[in-house]
Amino acid sequence: MTPPRPTVMRLFTIGDETTHVVGDPECPECQEEYPEPCPCGGLIHAAAGEEDEEGTPWPQTRCDVCGRSEEEID
């Protein structure tokens, strides 16, 4: 019997965060309510981003497959 192959986690960067996990629907580094499905089949991850004029933080987003942000997809 062949032993199982170790799973390799692939990480990618959003802004300054390099700890988002490709393909992980429960990515521990994502902001609340993320990741969410992307039309390409990947997952859109979110990291802390800029604040608007009222001080509300807006996340930086990026798909782990196509690389587009949520803004580009909308």
Residue 5 is assigned to a structural domain of this protein? no
pLDDT interval class at 1 (50, 70, 90) = low
**Residue-wise pLDDT tens digits, 54-66:** 877 788 999 999 9
Express each pLDDT in 16-74 by its tens digit. 778 899 999 999 899 889 999 999 999 999 998 777 788 777 889 999 999 999 999 98
Is 60 domain-assigned?
Answer: yes
Looking at residue 49, its pLDDT comes to 78
Please indicate, yes or no, if residue 36 is contained in any of the structural domains: yes
- CA neighbours closer than 13 Å in the CB half-sphere of residue 44: 17
Asked, for residue 27, whether it belongs to a domain, the answer is yes
Total of domains in the chain: 1
Domain range spanning residue 45? 11-73
Q: Is residue 15 in a domain?
A: yes
Q: How confident is the model at residue 4 (pLDDT cuts 50, 70, 90)?
A: low
Residue 69 lies in a domain: yes
- Residue 18, pLDDT score: 81
Considering the entire predicted model, what is its pTM?
Answer: 0.79
Residue 51 lies in a domain: yes
- What b/e sequence results for 10-20 when a residue is b if at least 16 CB atoms lie within 10 Å of its CB, and e otherwise? eeeebeebeeb
